[in-house]
Amino acid sequence: MSTNAQQIPEDFDAAREESERLAEQIERLRVAYYSEAASLVSDAEYDEMFHRLEAIERAFPELASQDSPTREVGAAVVSAGFPEHQHAERMLSLDNVFSVEEFRDWAAKAAAAAGRPVRWLSELKIDGLAISLAYRDGVLETATTRGDGRVGEDITENVDLIPVIPRTLSGSGFPAFFEARGEVFLTGENFDALNERQHELQKAFVAEQLAKGRAVEQIPVRYPEFANARNTAAGSLRQRAEKKTESELALMRDRLGRLSLYVHGIGAWPDPAIANQSEVYELLAGWGLPVSPHSRVFDTVDEVVEFIEDRGEHRHDVEHEIDGIVVKVDELSLHGELGETSRAPRWAIAYKYPPEEVHTRLLDIRVGVGRTGRATPYAVMEPVKVAGSTVRQATLHNQQVVQAKGVRIGDTVVLRKAGDVIPEVLGAVVELRDGEEREWRMPDTCPECGTPLRPMKEGDIDLRCPNARDCPAQVRGRVEHIGSRGALDIEVLGEITAAALTQPEAPSVPPLETEAGLFDLTLEQIVPIVVIVRDSETGEQRIDETTGEFVRRAPFQRVTLEYPPAAAGLSPAERRKAGLRKNHRVVHPSRDAETFLAELEKAKTKPLWRLLVALNIRHVGPVAARALADWFGSLDAIRAASQEALAEVDGVGSIIADSLTAWFEVDWHREIVERWTAAGVQWATPGHPGPGAASAEGVLSGLTVVATGSLDGFTREGATEAIIAAGGKAASSVSKKTDFVAAGPGAGSKLAKAEELGIPVLDAAQFALLVSEGPQAVTEGARSSTGDE
């Protein structure tokens, strides 16, 4: 953590000033967090302030007043109307570490203080909120929030509505009175379900308002989406039943009913005879209290570190959000010996993972248009680092999503990026608004060509630019798609080339109006092309920071300096005498230009399925295109086929058939085919015997194979290609009809499904064997490899 990156002030007055300011800020953030379930800054920023304050207080102990936030647990109860309740035993917080080194230091100190080998109880740190459950004679007496650790809010009436928290304990042998401490949280599944519910409620509300004649723009968001599971759980627990209507009460009960609990400690507990905390968990579980299944006990610190690292990598495989690992000394007798500070026990520590949620500013909402014309709003944000990468923008999907998230331009927003997952704007920090924020409305026209936007289909919320043939964004997108790996696979034809060809800067160059002219391009035509470079993420034209001008590139040019023609035939000495210099710019085709044209030439005879994908026909991706190419053998045969005949082909179906027939009805589409044909494109598979002749015969004839995860030695397309080349059918989902599943690292639900259905699962090596030798080779191989063990 960068707490120490900034020097601690040496001067006492400066230190005092800063510590007072920090204490005040932290206090304000705590009240919002604990009493209103609102995060005004991200947890990471909060932790950083907290640690800075701790560091200053370490340097100037006289500044550490009795009521410094570093000495306190949580925040005193700000009344929401619940009765106050005093805990029988104080509820503490935890000290944090942010690196393995810090953790090892802590563990070494704890072990040294214990004076004997220690066992480490390692648990997932649940990102929820702390609760204390007091049981008397096996019956729940009070359920209380942590509050300031001494006094919390009595929320028993709400906890009564949480089914997973037992009102009466089962079994026997429990103390006459004890406190169990735990964490209330929302599982990922219930959080999603709750948002789905909000979504449905809002939809119904909008429909009702529309029916009353209200204009769409004037309908407020009555049921906003929840941004964060922890704060939603906290908010749910602290709802008041008072003054609620019957339907509001039903919603409140629904929210409470979805909450979960894991107990992770004890407060008042009269029986000291138990040796270890892990045994306490067994007892609590026996009495019906939910205990986390994820805890482990280790003898060595190395094992704990391994646990920390392993769980960090699999953070999202758990049913609830985790923000770290809690490591506790398992022996209860040592708890007393190690003792506690004013806010945390010395026998436990929280190792915090790097944050996945950060706060940043929403600078703008813009609209991008894709190759199909879909107009998608996206957020442009102040760049921010999260989960290992810098994020500047995130899709907002459509206007309804923007509305549901309730974000305005200028807002501080919560951004989440979990591991490799696409970044998502969760919502605004409404409390930080200063009135300068602007509401955003979806524009009525295409930002690139000005054509009025229309719904994708009747009644659809998603909008598209209907100017398919000429809209620069769509032409650019289609041309880029033609070069992509699943289509003609032309490496030079990427984003920049597509932009260069369709929107060149040099006025002497006629842009490629549509992809119809792609194969007619000549070297003379493309060499002078200059293009303004766009940001690959935002689509924004990039500006050179030093000159303030647009960054230009000439993707097909190479420039050399030569002597002017007048110097021809002169010797070096004569040139010097005449004062001639190398300043004559000569523009040549670059290697890229030549490669590009050579690649285009090669593409004309690429397999029919690739050419079909290159036509940008809706729904016709590599899989459907292969099915069509295998069955029909030529574009003419596909065009001649009836809709029914198309739909019957395995892997095609009626949606694709409809899309194909509709595509050929459009004049400018037919023009593409005509001009490509005139340029020499081969629309037939040589030697194909005609429609109906099934795909190639091979070792996999009649077999269906699904490839999933990353298979060593194969790209995603490569795996599919290999299956088809061997005469097999490459399917994308696992069903009873699947014969084999090839699964590499990262295989998810498909692998689980295969195991459930008892379908043979192959690794990369076995898969390679399958496509080269056929099924016997792997069934034998599989048998012999299990036989060896």
Task: Rule CB under 5 A: say whether 456 interacts with Zn ion.
Answer: no
Q: How far apart are CA 478 and CA 544, in angstroms?
A: 28
CB of 73 to ligand NAD, least distance (A): 6
Residue among 125, 405, 417, 750 flagged as catalytic: 125
Q: How far apart are CA 359 and CA 382, in angstroms?
A: 10
465 is in an annotated binding site: yes
List the structure tokens of 250. 């039903």
Task: Rule CB under 6 A: say whether 39 interacts with ligand NAD.
Answer: yes
CB of 352 to ligand NAD, least distance (A): 7
Q: Are strands 412-416 and 357-369 parallel, antiparallel or unpaired?
A: antiparallel
Are the CB atoms for 91 and 267 separated by under 8 Å? yes
44 is in an annotated binding site: yes
> What are the φ and ψ backbone dihedral angles of 713, each rounded to 5 degrees?
90, -5
Element holding 123 (H helix, E strand): strand 120-126
Could you tell me which residues come within 8 angstroms of residue 60 by beta carbon, excluding any fewer than 6 positions away? Answer: 12, 15, 16, 19
List the structure tokens of 118. 């220690």
> What are the φ and ψ backbone dihedral angles of 65, each rounded to 5 degrees?
-75, 165
Nearer to ligand NAD, 41 or 747 (CB): 41
Nearer to Zn ion, 343 or 464 (CB): 464
Stretch that binds Zn ion, among 46-54, 167-175, 443-451, 588-596 (CB under 5 A): 443-451
Q: How far apart are CA 19 and CA 17, in angstroms?
A: 6
446 binds, among Zn ion, ligand NAD, none (CB under 5 to 8 A by kind): Zn ion
45 is in an annotated binding site: yes
CB of 186 to ligand NAD, least distance (A): 14
471 binds, among Zn ion, ligand NAD, none (CB under 5 to 8 A by kind): Zn ion
> What are the φ and ψ backbone dihedral angles of 160, each rounded to 5 degrees?
-55, -25
Q: How far apart are CA 129 and CA 233, in angstroms?
A: 8
CB of 616 to Zn ion, least distance (A): 15
Task: Rule CB under 6 A: say whether 40 interacts with ligand NAD.
Answer: yes
Out of 43, 57, 154, 448, point to the residue binding ligand NAD (CB under 6 A): 43
Stretch that binds ligand NAD, among 26-34, 77-85, 269-277, 363-371 (CB under 6 A): 26-34
Q: How far apart are CA 783 and CA 779, in angstroms?
A: 6
Out of 428, 465, 741, 771, point to the residue binding Zn ion (CB under 5 A): 465
664 binds, among Zn ion, ligand NAD, none (CB under 5 to 8 A by kind): none
State the residue number with the nearest CB to ligand NAD: 130
Task: Rule CB under 6 A: say whether 289 interacts with ligand NAD.
Answer: no
Count residues binding Zn ion (CB under 5 A): 7
Write the burial class of residue 177 (CB in 10 Å: 0-12 exposed, 13-18 middle, 19+ buried). middle
449 binds, among ligand NAD, Zn ion, none (CB under 5 to 8 A by kind): Zn ion
462 is in an annotated binding site: no
Query: Residue 255 corresponds to which amino acid?
Result: R
Residues 290-329 as x/- pattern, contact with ligand NAD by CB under 6 A: ------------------------------------x---
Nearer to ligand NAD, 98 or 632 (CB): 98
Out of 30, 85, 255, 476, point to the residue binding ligand NAD (CB under 6 A): 30
Task: Rule CB under 5 A: say whether 449 interacts with Zn ion.
Answer: yes
Are the CB atoms for 294 and 199 separated by under 8 Å? no
- Chain positions 127 to 166 lying near ligand NAD, rule: CB under 6 A, are 130
Strand stretches in 401-539, DSSP E = 412-416, 424-428, 454-455, 463-464, 531-532
- Chain positions 167 to 186 lying near ligand NAD, rule: CB under 6 A, are 183
Task: Rule CB under 5 A: say whether 625 interacts with Zn ion.
Answer: no
Task: Rule CB under 6 A: say whether 74 interacts with ligand NAD.
Answer: yes
Out of 19, 96, 142, 144, point to the residue binding ligand NAD (CB under 6 A): 96
408 is in an annotated binding site: no
- Alpha helices per DSSP H over 217-351: 229-237, 246-257, 277-286, 301-313, 332-338
Q: How far apart are CA 216 and CA 442, in angstroms?
A: 12
Q: How far apart are CA 417 and CA 395, in angstroms?
A: 12
- How far does the chain reach from its first CA to its final CA, in angstroms? 47
Stretch that binds ligand NAD, among 99-107, 122-130, 196-204, 371-379 (CB under 6 A): 122-130
DSSP 346-405: TTEEEEEPPPSEEEEEEEEEEEEE-TT-EEEEEEEEEEEEETTEEEEEEE--SHHHHHHH
Strand stretches in 396-516, DSSP E = 412-416, 424-428, 454-455, 463-464
331 is in an annotated binding site: no
Q: How far apart are CA 192 and CA 321, in angstroms?
A: 13
CB of 665 to Zn ion, least distance (A): 21
Out of 471, 603, 646, 770, point to the residue binding Zn ion (CB under 5 A): 471
Could you tell me which residues come within 8 angstroms of residue 296 by beta carbon, excluding any fewer than 6 positions away? Answer: 121, 122, 307
Residues 239-278 as x/- pattern, contact with ligand NAD by CB under 6 A: -------------------------xx-------------
125 binds, among Zn ion, ligand NAD, none (CB under 5 to 8 A by kind): ligand NAD
Residue 357 per-residue DSSP state: E
CA-based R_g, the chain, Å: 33
Out of 446, 475, 629, 751, point to the residue binding Zn ion (CB under 5 A): 446
Task: Rule CB under 6 A: say whether 630 interacts with ligand NAD.
Answer: no
Nearer to ligand NAD, 107 or 493 (CB): 107
Task: Rule CB under 6 A: say whether 350 interacts with ligand NAD.
Answer: yes
The closest alpha carbon to 476, from 518, 439, 427, 416, belongs to: 518
Q: What angle do CA 150, 156, 159 make, to 5 degrees?
A: 115
Does 405 participate in catalysis according to the annotation?
no
Count residues binding ligand NAD (CB under 6 A): 23
29 binds, among ligand NAD, Zn ion, none (CB under 5 to 8 A by kind): ligand NAD
Sites of contact with ligand NAD (CB under 6 A)? 29-30, 33, 39-43, 46-47, 74, 93-94, 96, 123, 125-126, 130, 183, 264-265, 326, 350
Sites of contact with Zn ion (CB under 5 A)? 446, 448-449, 451, 465, 467, 471
Q: Give the residue ranges of the annotated binding site for Zn(2+).
A: 446, 449, 465, 471
Residues designated as active site: 125
